[in-house]
Structure 1
Amino acid sequence: MAARDGGCIIPGCDIPAYRTELHHVIPWALGGKTEVANGVCLCWRHHHAIETSGWKIRMVRGRPEVRGPAWMDPSQTWRPAQTHRANHAIN
């Protein structure tokens, strides 16, 4: 997950992978598996607020997509999750 996401996948968040927590896209309590195909990197703040913040996450062909809260994205468009790899390649 860290190699794929590079850091918190929420757009605008710059927390690198080594400071993130792993989040089950389909909750473990609802049968979600603990595996790369069902996990993403989220910073502490986004991980603890994901259920109430309005952000939604899904996996499509092994890649995370995000949809922002309605107040932020009235179109409710799913978008590829942010990755931090480009930043790491430059630095």
Structure 2
Amino acid sequence: RFHQLITKYAYEKFIQDRISIANYWHNPTQSNKYISWCHFLPDINNERETRNKIYCINMLKLNAFVITYSDLDEIIIPKQSGWFIGYAPQSFKVET
């Protein structure tokens, strides 16, 4: 149910302004809305037309970077997001 709601309404201004998890949702079937209306994720992922070079510079300064996910996770969709693996473009099929 939550997945259906967030898929349909995540990029509405009211939702973006009030529900933090909506800022972490990338709906692969609504990429234009995601780039235009999602406040956080496209910015931090440098997916916007104007990119922030500081993000890249800061990542390159790291001595270590740990990412993780769990097969038991029931909140993060897809679970593999913890490894920066997401959905294939225009589908809900997990990329491999």
Give the structure-2-normalised TM-score.
0.21
Higher helix share: 2
Give the structure-1-normalised TM-score.
0.22
Relative contact order, CA 8 A, sep 6+: which one is greater?
1
Q: Pick the structure with greater CA Rg.
A: 2
